[in-house]
Amino acid sequence: RVVTELKVKRFSLGSRPSQRRDPVTGEEPLEIRVGGSPLAVTMRTPGNDYELAAGFLVSEGVISSRDQFTQAQYCRGAGAEGGNTYNVLDVALAPGVEPPSPDLTRNFYTTSSCGICGKASIDAVETSSTFDLAADRTEVELERLLKMPETLRESQDIFNRTGGLHAAGLFDAQTGEMLALREDVGRHNAVDKVIGWALLEGRLPLSGCVLQVSGRASFELLQKAKMAGVPIFSAV
């Protein structure tokens, strides 16, 4: 579930503990398969899973355009006797698209706090983009840029209910319009969901856009922006 409720206890000095129900952000594993072969497992907030898988494949350099992504469907994982758990997603690539290299297969699951966990070597960490960012001359006015974190925060519906998760938003650099926003317990998942949305909408490369995130400018997020052809990255 995207949001669930748990019983929590509150402690205050000089008073007895009280108990109440509190909404918290959901977190479940998602196994991403390509052509039936396992590729990675990531801890994520359920929702927008097709976008998450598509964005992950862009970030890993497997695909870079809409016509390379044929379809995705949920399938039953091992031990799912009770039915589909919606935690295993199989992606079909277009004919002629090279499947992921065995070197990309994540040997361990990717936690919500680590976007490169499970990589087997240093060489496997850095990826090369098919888009030429050096040729992109996108600019954004400072005043418009400084408004983006506030716009992102005000639009976080799940954060407003639970008080804790990351977000990534894609903005038009010229107008400041927010084109897409995704939330997730993992900052790298939120970015992958936005990139996946852009891929499925046929918008890559994301020239003329700003990628605004709710956290820090970490290595893996900058690399994901590069892989999607984002010319400007903004972090709180």
pLDDT in tens, 68-112: 999 999 997 666 565 667 999 999 999 999 999 877 665 545 666
* Structure tokens that stand for 61 in this block: 């350099």
The pLDDT of residue 9: 86
Residues that are catalytic: 114
Of the pLDDT bands very low, low, confident and very high (cuts 50, 70, 90), residue 174 is: very high
pLDDT in tens, 114-129: 665 655 555 555 688 9
Per the CB < 8 A criterion, the answer to whether 196 and 31 are in contact is: no
Q: 44 versus 6: which is more confidently predicted?
A: 44
Q: 18 versus 204: which is more confidently predicted?
A: 204
pLDDT in tens, 202-215: 999 999 999 999 99
| Per-chain mean pLDDT for the chain | 88
| Residue with token string 């992950």 | 56
The pLDDT of residue 125: 59
**Any bridge partners for residue 92, and if so which?**
71
The pLDDT of residue 3: 77
**Omega of the bond prior to 95 within 30 degrees of 0, cis?**
no
The pLDDT of residue 107: 52
Least confident of 14-23, 67-76, 110-119, 188-197: 110-119
Average confidence (pLDDT) over 135-160: 91
The pLDDT of residue 94: 98
